[in-house]
RNA sequence: GGUCCGGUAGUUCAGCUGGUUAGAACGCCGGCCUGUCACGCCGGAGGCCGCGGGUUCGAGUCCCGUCCGGACCGCCA
């Protein structure tokens, strides 16, 4: 740390090399320990903690012992070797014998411990976020986030990307999440929307010839929040022209490798690719947690040759754990899980040597299974097996048996997502967003069998979290219009909502595609946390309020009246 | 929008089927202590039991409403 008029060193920077030096430090009082004949004081700043010392014979003794926690002080003194070192502290071999002390500011007694292991609950920590962020562990998380941005910027710049900012006040588009709206004063009755993502703007940048773009973009979605979902969140938003899907994946594999390597020293190697169809049938999820090898296997053929009557003519999926044992209670719980996810039949068997215990007793002996196979089996059967149910069962089994991950990090590209899905009313809806380029092999039956059409899109899944999502986009206006028509937009509606895009596509749009990383979530994983709020400096609660600023808040009456005038005209 | 859990000292919590003066630990304040670093020891202060209503002789405890926080479902292209 560079010195200023307030300090010559950071508290945590002092080492035995400094013994004998006259130093000046400034920071917050972490704790005072008055021993009678002398006093110790732990002083904290961002660089760490150093112990101040004053013997009773010094005039500083009386000064130090009366200081309160979190008071801001400046101390001047001589670095000396400790009589009893503390090996748990980087500065544990030295202390500063204080000669001059300046009180820079007092502090109220803090409502919770300003320590890595705090006693404050999250609600309190959010209310006094500036105190929460004073905790070393929180500062390390902010540091990790800053390093992340640094690595990402460097990698992308080295690969020819241009960082471009796009506006926050844009217009609302009909699909997707609910928009946050901003009333316009100069055009009463009209509204801006805050971007859910810079999707269309970055496509326009490609048409502008920017070629390779990125942005650390703040995005806003007015939906309900969760531990891993905030009203505003940060995306690493990227778009490239003149690239194939595999080229996009290869460029961003490099980025992901660089981040893991430089931030946490982990070599992730190549990232395996899984199709959507494989992911769904093996793991029951399009974002499987692949730290666990456990996978469903279709055994319909084998099942039809057994005596089990309700397996005949049905599809049967099997989950086998060679080492595992499940109590009756757990088995009942899994039956509930299966039932609540619409799985028609779940059978469970436990085999040890020649002994087998199963609800299939009547139709089934130990000989029905290969002799060397042991452990726990689950069989889900039905004409129609909802994949989500298989996924929920797999998660439940992993959690309830307390399975240990086979590896700390499991990454995968998931590709070949369907382009469309059906909503509740049976209407066609984009599975991803309406600008995804259909898979060229499936283009011919776009109109005939739209649900079978795959998109040129890809997700990156890390430990069961969707960290990045992207696609190649439609660059031909005719193709984009075909998609809009399938989604039920008339020519006029499409022109009204997306006219600017269709027009731009008709003015020399290059083939292009890109992606967006949810970086809050990714940094959360890298920091080893399970809450987004721990890696965002000033996060909001699950109901979207900021407990420190007390936002959202009612308006002044005059302000409110003015807004209402704009809105209703 | 729905379901569930919680709200008691500065903090984290306990408080049984309703029953005298609502507790503990940490923190805070005062005193003592020659090497602490979660210092130790002695003493003390500290409570609209989230808010409003109801039931009851009597409510922290039961009921209704409301606000706040959390988890989950819906939602989040």
Give the residue from A415, A512, A498 showing the smallest Cα distance to A171. Answer: A498
| pLDDT tens-digit map of A1-54 | 889 999 999 999 999 999 999 999 999 999 999 999 999 999 999 999 999 999
B29 C1' to A36 CA distance, Å: 18
Of residues A42 and A343, which shows the higher confidence score? A42
Number of domains making up chain A: 3
* A452: in domain: yes
Give the residue-averaged pLDDT of A449-456.
94
Contact A45, A12 (CB under 8 A): yes
A506 located within any domain: yes
Residues A161 and A246 in one domain: yes
Q: Encoding tokens for residue A516?
A: 């967006």
Q: What is the mean pLDDT of residues A209-215?
A: 97
**A219 and A326 inside one domain:** no
Residue A333 binned pLDDT confidence (cut-offs 50, 70, 90): confident
- Comparing A359 with A560, the larger pLDDT belongs to A560
Give the SS3 label for residue A363.
Answer: helix
User: What are A525-561's pLDDT values in tens digits?
Assistant: 999 877 888 899 999 988 888 999 988 888 888 888 8
Q: Which residues contact A373 (CB under 8 A, 6 or more apart)?
A: A320, A322, A351
Q: Is residue A82 part of a domain?
A: yes
pLDDT score, position A172:
82
* Residues 183-212 of A with CB within 7 A of strand B: 196-197, 199
Q: Are residues A339 and A255 in the same domain?
A: no
Q: Which of residues 528-557 of A touch strand B (CB under 7 A)?
A: 531, 541-543, 545, 547
In a domain, A543, yes or no: no
Which domain range does residue A54 map to? 11-105
Mean pLDDT of A348-362: 82
pLDDT at A90 over 90: yes
Residues A150 and A172 in one domain: yes
Q: pLDDT for A484-501, tens place per residue?
A: 999 988 999 899 889 999
User: Is the same domain home to A213 and A158?
Assistant: yes
Which neighbouring-strand residues pair with A376? A321, A350
Q: Is residue A521 part of a domain?
A: yes
Supply the pLDDT for residue A399: 83
Q: Answer whether residue A134 is part of any domain.
A: no
Q: Which residue has the tokens 């950071």?
A: A10
* Separation of A110 CA and B58 C1' (Å): 40
A327: confidence class by pLDDT, cuts 50, 70, 90: confident
User: Which nt is closest to the CA of A39, judged by C1'?
Assistant: B36
- CB neighbour burial string for A49-82, b if at least 16 within 10 angstroms, e if fewer: bbbbbbeeebebbebbbebebbbbbbbbbbbeeb
What is the per-residue pLDDT for A323? 84
Question: Domain check: are A394 and A492 in the same one?
Answer: no
In the 3-class helix/strand/coil scheme, how is A445-477 assigned residue by residue?
HCCCCHHHCEECEEEEEECCEEEEEEEEECCCH
**A376 and A453 inside one domain:** no
A554 in a structural domain: no
Residues A379 and A417 in one domain: no
What pLDDT does residue A395 have?
Answer: 87
Q: What is the pLDDT of residue A174?
A: 64
The whole model's pTM is what?
0.93
Give me the A residues in range 135-194 that sit within 7 A (CB) of strand B: 175-178
Same domain, A225 and A183: yes
- Please tell me whether residues A378 and A426 are part of one structural domain: no
């Amino acid at each position: 740390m560079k010195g200023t008029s307030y300090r010559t060193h950071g508290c945590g920077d002092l080492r035995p090399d400094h013994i004998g030096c006259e130093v000046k430090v400034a920071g917050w009082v972490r704790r005072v320990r008055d021993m009678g004949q002398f006093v110790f004081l732990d002083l904290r700043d961002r660089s760490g903690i150093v112990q101040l010392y004053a013997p009773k014979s010094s005039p500083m003794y009386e000064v130090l012992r009366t200081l309160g926690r979190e008071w801001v002080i400046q101390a001047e003194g001589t670095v000396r070797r400790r009589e009893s070192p503390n090996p748990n502290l980087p500065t544990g071999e030295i202390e500063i014998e204080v000669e001059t002390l300046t009180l820079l500011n007092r502090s109220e007694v803090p409502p919770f411990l300003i320590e890595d292991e705090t006693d404050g609950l999250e609600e309190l920590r959010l209310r006094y976020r500036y105190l929460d962020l004073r905790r070393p562990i929180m500062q390390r998380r902010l540091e990790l986030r800053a390093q992340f941005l640094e690595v990402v910027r460097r990698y992308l710049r080295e690969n020819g990307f241009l960082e471009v900012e796009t506006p926050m006040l844009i217009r609302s588009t009909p699909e997707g999440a609910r928009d946050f709206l901003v009333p316009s004063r100069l055009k009463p009755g009209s509204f801006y929307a805050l971007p859910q993502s810079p999707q269309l703007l970055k496509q326009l940048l490609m048409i502008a010839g920017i070629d390779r773009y990125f942005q650390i973009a703040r995005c806003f979605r007015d939906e309900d929040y969760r531990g891993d979902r905030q009203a505003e969140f940060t995306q690493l938003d990227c778009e490239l022209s003149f690239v194939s899907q595999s080229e996009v994946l290869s460029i961003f594999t490099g980025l992901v490798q660089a981040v893991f390597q430089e931030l946490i020293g982990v070599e992730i190697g190549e990232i395996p690719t899984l199709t959507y169809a494989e992911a769904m049938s093996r793991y029951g999820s399009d974002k499987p947690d692949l730290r666990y090898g456990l996978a469903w296997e279709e055994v319909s053929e084998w099942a039809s040759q057994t005596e089990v009557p309700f397996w005949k003519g049905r599809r049967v999926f099997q989950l086998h754990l060679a080492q595992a044992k499940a109590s009756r209670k757990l088995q009942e719980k899994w039956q509930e899980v299966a039932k609540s996810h619409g799985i028609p039949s779940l059978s469970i068997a436990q085999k040890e040597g020649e002994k087998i215990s199963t609800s299939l007793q009547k139709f089934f002996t130990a000989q029905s299974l290969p002799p060397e196979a042991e452990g726990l089996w689950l069989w889900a059967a039905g004409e129609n097996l909802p994949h989500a149910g298989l996924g929920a069962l797999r998660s439940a089994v992993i959690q309830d048996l307390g399975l240990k991950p086979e590896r700390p990090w499991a990454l995968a590209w998931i590709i070949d997502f369907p382009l469309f899905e059906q909503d509740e009313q049976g209407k066609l809806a984009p599975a991803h967003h309406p600008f995804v380029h259909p898979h060229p092999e499936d283009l011919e039956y776009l109109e005939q069998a739209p649900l079978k059409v795959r998109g040129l899109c890809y997700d990156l899944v890390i430990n069961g979290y969707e960290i990045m999502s992207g696609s190649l986009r439609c660059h031909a206006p005719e193709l984009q219009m075909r998609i809009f028509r399938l989604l039920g937009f008339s020519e006029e509606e499409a022109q009204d909502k997306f006219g600017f895009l269709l027009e731009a596509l008709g003015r020399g749009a290059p083939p292009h595609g890109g992606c967006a990383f949810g970086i809050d979530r990714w940094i959360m994983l890298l920091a080893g946390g399970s809450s987004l709020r721990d890696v965002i400096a000033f996060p909001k609660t699950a109901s979207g309020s900021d407990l420190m600023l007390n936002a959202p808040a009612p308006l002044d009456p005059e302000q409110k009246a003015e807004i209402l005038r704009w809105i209703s005209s």
